[in-house]
Structure formats: C-alpha cells, structure tokens
Structure 1
Amino acid sequence: MRARGAGSGRAGRAEAGRPRGPAGRAGTGRAPRTGPGPGARAPLARRLAGPQNRNLWFWVFVGPFALGLLVFTYVPLGWSVYLSFFDAHNTVSPTEFVGLDNYTAMLKDEAFTDSLWTFAVFTAFIVPTTFALSLSLALMVNRLRRAQAFFRSVFFLPAACSYVVAALIWKMSLFNGVRFGLANTVLGWFGADQTAWLSTTDPPWYWLVIVTVRLWLQAGFYMVLFLAGLQRIPPVLYEAAAVDGARPGWQVLRHITLPQLRATSVAVVLLLVINAFQAFDEFYNLLSDARGYPPYARPPLVYLYYTALGQGQNLGLGSAGAVLLALVIAVVTIGQARWLGLGRADEKGA
C-alpha cells in the first residue's frame, strides 16, 4: 500500500508539472490547430480557385479570349442561323418567319451554284500547286546545312502579310495591265505585247493573278508544316535505305519520305481545301473594279457578301447561303478526311 501510494504521488506531481492546454487537458507543447479538421470541407471560394489558385489563373488568362470568342464568333453564328429562317431586308431584327424559303431560293439561284463551280475551279488550281510548291521548299530547306533558319523565315514571311495588301500590290504594281507594270515589262523584254491581266475577256488571265498571289501568301506556311514533319523522320530510315541500295532522289522520296509525311500531307490538303472555300480578299480586291466580269468569277463568299450587304441587303437570304456553304464545307471535309484516312492508325502500330 505504501509503495502504491508513493508511486501515485510521484505520478501526480509529474502530471501537475506538465503544461496544460486551454481546456484543462495535458498539453503537448505544440500550438493548437485552428484550421478545419481532416473531414471538414474547404470554403467554396478556395475550392473554385483550385490548388495554388490554378483555376483562378487559368480563367484570368483564358477568360478574355473565351469571352471574345463567344461574343464575336458563336453569338453571330447562332444569330445568322436564326436569320436564315426569316425575311430580313435591311435589318438584323426580323419579324416575318419564312421557314425554308430562303434555302430554297438560294439553291435555285444560278449565281450561287456558279460560285460553287468557281470554288471547284479555284481548288483545282490552288490545292495541287500549293501542295507541290510547299513540299518542294520544305525538302530544299531541310537539306541545307547552313542558314536554314534564315531561309525558313524568308519563305514564311509572306504568311504574315495581309491578303488585302498583297492583292493590291499584285493589282497595282505587278499585274496592273499597263506597260510600266512588272509583268508587262518582263514580257516587253522578249518582244511580247502588253496583256490586260485583269480583263474579263478571253483568255481569263485573272486566274493567273489570283492563283499566284495565293501561292505567295500561303506556300511558306505549309512549308513550315512539311518541314516539321520532315524533321520528325528518323535518320535511321534513310541509312537503312542507303544500305539496301536505294538511290537518293525519287526512290527515297517515294518509299520513305512521302509515306512518313502521310499524316502531315492529309492535314495540309484539308487545310488547303477549307482555305479555298474561304477565298474572299483576293477575288474582291482584284476583280471588284472590273466591269462585266462573269458571275462565275465570284467565289461563294463574294457572292454572299453582295447578297447580304449589297443593294438589296437581304440578310436572311445571305444567312441561308452562309449556312449552306458551311454544310458543304463540313460534308467535303468529312468525306475527304475519310477518303484520305485521317486519324487511321498505322498498320505497324495497329
């Protein structure tokens, strides 16, 4: 009994010497926890901001762009679809619902169908020529040992130029149809007569002007895409081809380079076709002053511009044409992607 009492007394004195917490419990020497417990949820503002405010900074940087995209792109697109079902002359606030009459009238309009044929002709010219030129430039630049960055920048620089500015330069300086123009000056060196490049009479030389300005503007951009694809080809493939006796040139290009560039080539062709659909600036600025040029010299966007913002200002009919053009672009793009096998897994990786 005495030993037990002595032990209890020592334990009581030790307990009395320990620091106690605010609730009278024996303290541990550490500061009390003030935050929420393990099972408590963080405040709503902190959860929305995310860890280290990542969600907050994401919307700080992306929010203005997303807001501008919504206000200036998606809202006008939706309103254009809405206008296509109304009779909207000189107004964007229609009241008379006409259903599919605008679509029927647009499909029966020969000028609209002729503009689609203009797109087909323009695509037949611009897509293969741009593809071949950009691929050739990429192959040449990729083989350079020195100054590769310089030539890459030089060829890409026209892509930063405005289509309007380039069209005016082609129209007023290069192919202006007078003897002081660059094209007629070069022809004069060989004794050739002057040519009215933008004349609507046969032969239609204005196609040469339109195709060349588009080539100058976009060949450098697609060259960069091909160049990126070329630099991703493993050099070991070319070494193996050399060991197998493949001659450098057409054999290596056909059996190694082009198959390895298949994905890039499909993407380039799709972008070229879509851009051909969207041709507007060069046609409008090169041919707007030419009197009497045929309706088939107008691509779809130029025709829709005159329909919606011309003398009649039939915004409902123009909106219906824009929707039809968007559907045509979607159908052509999807069909072309399926035909070219966009996204198809390689046979080796399947």
Structure 2
Amino acid sequence: MTRTAGRLRERNRALWFWVFVGPSVLGLLVFTYVPLGWSVWLSFFDAHNTVTPDTFVGLDNYTALLKDDAFTSSLWTFCVFTLFIVPATYAASLALALMVNRLRRAQAFFRSVFFLPAACSYVVAALIWKMSIFNGVRFGLANTLLGYVGVDQVAWLSTTDPPWYWLVIVTVRLWLQAGFYMILFLAGLQRISPTLYEAAAVDGARPGWQVFRHITFPQLRATSVAVVLLLVINAFQAFDEFYNLLSDARGYPPYARPPLVYLYYTALGQGQNLGLGSAGAVLLALIIAVVTVGQARWFGLGRKEAG
C-alpha cells in the first residue's frame, strides 16, 4: 500500500506539473522555436511572396545582404543608437536608484512613479513624443518653449543637419526604460552590507563621491554588467519608436533605419522577399549572440572572483 500510494503521489505531481507548465512549453514551441527554425530554413531559399519555397539558393541571400549598403547602414544606425542610449540609460537609472535608495520616507511611492513608464506602450509613447512634445510646428511643447526664448522652430524629426531626430528617439527610449533598470540597481544597492559603510566611516572615508567610488560602485559590478548586456540587446531590437516616430504616409525616410526596420520593409514590403528577410534575421541573431558573449567574457561574467 505504501509503495502504491507513493507511486500515485509521484504520478499526481507529474500530472500537475505538466498541467501548469505544459501550456507555456507548448506556446514557446509553437510561437518561438518553430518560427525560428522556419526562418533559418527560409534563409536558404528564394522565398518571394511565399513561406513554402522550392528554389534552394544556399548562401546567396546572406551574400546579397552583406553587399547591400542599406543593411550595413542599418547596422551603423544601431551602433549610433547604442552609443547614445546605453550610457544615458545607465547613468539615469543608477542616479534614480541612488536617489530613491537614500529616501527615508515615501520610497515605495517614488519607486513606483519612476517605474511606471516601463508599463507604457512603446507605440503610445512614440506617438506622444511625435505629436505633442516634438511636433515640429509651433504647437509642439519643445518648440513652444524655444519660442519663449526667441529660438526658431525646429523640425525635429526631419532635420538631418544637425540630426535632431536622435534627441527625440533617445529621450523616448530613455523615459520608457530608465525606471526598469532603476529597479535592478535598487536591488543591487540593497544587497550591499551596511557594515561596509560603517567600516568606511570608521576609516575616515568622506560620504558622497568617495564612498560611492570605492564601495558602492564596485559592489554594483554584477548588476552593472547585467544592465549593460540587457541595454545592448534591447538596442539591437529597437523598432517601435523608430518606426512610429519617423514613418509617415510617404513611408520611412532613408536615415535612422535600424536593422529591424530594414528587415520589416525587406520581408513585408512591396517585394516581400522572405528569404532575404530571414537571412537578415539570422545574421542579426548571430550578431546579438556574438556581442553578448563577447561582453560577458570581457566583464568576466560567471567567473569566480579571487578570494
């Protein structure tokens, strides 16, 4: 009886495990792994206007993509975007975390306020930035404020010299994601032992920059590495803000076109070259993987620190 009851309990545990986990595994398989595998398969075929091609072209899609100036230009756009958004978000989120962590009262309130933009849709935020703040006409908030100080109106999203559109793109992404990374830094700050600060005070360390430089910042190393990795990966996947800010009834301008926007027009545009678009998606995934692994090795992620 005991063995039978034990087997029944084990079966029930296995059954309930798959009841709860099964739908997630099925969804992951159907909506993630199967499309990924199908995309890799399509990248080796001439797939114009079809997802079931029969003309095998080997690596022709990849070579054509690497020779396409528009694709290489989209990679440079990503590099510029990363150069702006990663340091800006890192500094802003760390500053917010330090500020909130020092609060004695209403810490939960301010933590929620700063995190709230992370729950906002990228599309909605982009439209607010485009139509209300950086409208490009005298009714836009930015141009209204500039008018008060006697500065002429600026066509923020269509001016390429200087490229003011970067200000719009970077600020909307910064507003959307700074609160999320602030939470990560807050978690890192709260793991720092208070005894380290007490020992520093006994040794005569001055509160402020000296304590931050020699205690707080080094203790946030693991959190900083994770934040930088996530920021770079998310920069590679930028699409919503670029597309909704810069596109209009005439289409998308030739500048500031990141890889996902390029692939969108390649695979779903007039030509609907799904083979070329799939090859671009595979190359983009490989680039993300290489950059992520390279960063992890550079920062020593997962390596045991010397005792």
TM-score tier by shorter-chain length is over 0.9
Do residues 265 (structure 1) and 224 (structure 2) align? yes
CA distance in 1, matches of 2:121, 2:31: 21
Q: What is the CA deviation profile of residues 158-195 of structure 1, one whole-angstrom value per residue up to 9, with x for unaligned ones?
A: 00001011001100111011111111111112111111
Partner residue, 2:15: 56
CA distance in 1, matches of 2:22, 2:11: 18
The Cα shift of 1:308 comes to 0.2
Farther off after superposition, 315-324 or 177-186? 177-186
Do residues 308 (structure 1) and 230 (structure 2) align? no
Do residues 67 (structure 1) and 26 (structure 2) align? yes
CA distance in 2, matches of 1:260, 1:282: 34
The Cα shift of 1:201 comes to 3.1
Partner residue, 2:92: 133
Unaligned ranges ≥5, structure 2: none
2:155 aligned partner, one-letter code: A
Do residues 228 (structure 1) and 187 (structure 2) align? yes
CA distance in 2, matches of 1:290, 1:343: 48
CA distance in 2, matches of 1:138, 1:68: 35
Partner residue, 1:11: none
Structure 2 vs 1, CA of residues 290 and 119 (structure 1 numbering), >3 Å: closer, same or farther? farther
Do residues 169 (structure 1) and 141 (structure 2) align? no
Partner residue, 2:166: 207
Unaligned ranges ≥5, structure 1: 1-34
CA distance in 1, matches of 2:16, 2:49: 44
Do residues 179 (structure 1) and 138 (structure 2) align? yes
Name the count of aligned residue pairs: 307
Partner residue, 1:84: 43
Partner residue, 1:328: 287
The Cα shift of 1:52 comes to 7.3
The RMSD of aligned alpha carbons is 1.7
CA distance in 2, matches of 1:268, 1:50: 43
Alignment of 1:1-350 (within 5 A): 35=1, 42=4, 47=7, 50-51=9-10, 53-289=12-248, 295-348=254-307
Aligned structure 1 segments of 4 or more residues deviating by more than 6 angstroms: none
Q: What is the CA deviation profile of residues 308-345 of structure 1, one whole-angstrom value per residue up to 9, with x for unaligned ones?
A: 00000000000001000100110011001100111121
Structure 2 length normalisation: TM-score? 0.96
CA distance in 2, matches of 1:320, 1:86: 10
- Contact 1:118–1:298 (CA<8 Å) still a contact in 2? yes
- Contact 1:118–1:297 (CA<8 Å) still a contact in 2? yes
1:341 aligned partner, one-letter code: G
CA distance in 1, matches of 2:16, 2:152: 65
Which structure has the larger Rg over C-alpha atoms?
A: 1
CA distance in 2, matches of 1:293, 1:65: 36
- Contact 2:185–2:223 (CA<8 Å) still a contact in 1? yes
- Contact 1:200–1:290 (CA<8 Å) still a contact in 2? no
- Contact 2:243–2:252 (CA<8 Å) still a contact in 1? no
Structure 2 vs 1, CA of residues 347 and 317 (structure 1 numbering), >3 Å: closer, same or farther? same
Structure 2 vs 1, CA of residues 205 and 291 (structure 1 numbering), >3 Å: closer, same or farther? farther
SS at match of 1:238: helix
Q: What is the CA deviation profile of residues 98-145 of structure 1, one whole-angstrom value per residue up to 9, with x for unaligned ones?
A: 111001101111100000000000000000000000000000000000
CA distance in 2, matches of 1:273, 1:159: 17
Structure 1 length normalisation: TM-score? 0.85
**Greater relative CO (CA pairs within 8 A, separation 6+):** 2
Partner residue, 1:24: none
CA distance in 2, matches of 1:249, 1:291: 53
